[in-house]
Amino acid sequence: MTASRWLHCFRPVARPRRTLLCFPYAGAGAALFRDWHLAAGPEDEILAVRLPGRENRIAEPALTEVAAAVPFVLDALEQRLGEDGRPLILFGHSLGAALAYATARALIGQGRPPRLLAVSGRRAPHLPLRRPPTSGMDEGEFRRQLHALGGTPPEVLDCAELMELMLPLLRADFTMSDRFSEPEPAPLPIPLVAFAGVEDSEVMVSEVAGWERLAGAGFALHRLAGNHFFVNEHRRAIVETLLGPIP
């Protein structure tokens, strides 16, 4: 089993029967998925993607394009999974959904399609961004946007030292997220599952439902209570949905 700075596993599994690869939302790291294995079976491996600019990669410059991350994720997956053929499930929330989708598209292009793509709290790639891009916001506007989303604790927003550390990373991640779009995406030849927060003011349920256009082999939409960060409240339900019985 090859270690990688791009992938982290909080509970090693000797002989995994399948792998769930998780991509975090803007500003988050692999630690977002630290406890997800508690809802998984003993033979289910959960890997978390760790992007540059956070956790033990804090000294590395953060990326601003989804396409810049995908080749490194593919290389890390190749090193870890090799040719064992186990089912691979991709999950991402918000920015992570764009990264998961781009990774799925690249794997399909290589002839190694994942078993399932799961997207959460993210508009379909052909739909436009409803709010102004954060790249045009000054610091005050950007902080107000963070406060409105609700994912950054008030004590962090109010701490000048923490925000000085976090703002470059958050700016880069939001830029990466805002820039990602595909006006005319072709359907994927794999099943697609989407999760939407019914009180999410950033992404409407109808925008998440738009992923059905890309689902060439089956689609399911799950509406969950909560705001844009509903993923933190419903991680057990999400894991159990994704790691149900293998067909």
**pTM score:** 0.93
For 21-36, how does the pLDDT look when each residue is reduced to its tens digit (9 = 90+)? 999 999 899 999 999 9
For the chain, what percent of residues have pLDDT higher than 90? Answer: 75
For 168-196, how does the pLDDT look when each residue is reduced to its tens digit (9 = 90+)? 999 999 999 999 999 999 999 999 999 99
Domain ranges of the chain: 7-242
CA angle (14, 18, 20) in 5-degree steps? 105
Query: Between residues 232 and 148, which one has the greater pLDDT?
Result: 232
Query: Between residues 245 and 54, which one has the greater pLDDT?
Result: 54
Look up residue 133 and give its two tokens.
């891009």
- pLDDT at position 247, please? 41
- pLDDT at position 155, please? 67
As a whole number, mean pLDDT of residues 104-112 equals: 96
Task: Kindly report the CATH class assigned to 7-242.
Answer: alpha beta
For 129-155, how does the pLDDT look when each residue is reduced to its tens digit (9 = 90+)? 888 888 888 888 888 888 877 766 666
User: How far is CA 115 from each of CA 8, 26, 112, 220, rounded to the nearest angstrom?
Assistant: 20, 25, 9, 14
Q: What are the backbone angles phi and psi of residue 193, rounded to the nearest 5°?
A: -120, 135
Can you name the residues that pair with 227 across neighbouring β-strands? Answer: none
Q: How far is CA 76 from the centre of its chain?
A: 16
Amino acid at 116: L
- Under 8 Å between Cβ of 46 and 36: yes
Q: What are the backbone angles phi and psi of residue 92, rounded to the nearest 5°?
A: -150, 145
- List active site positions: 94, 228
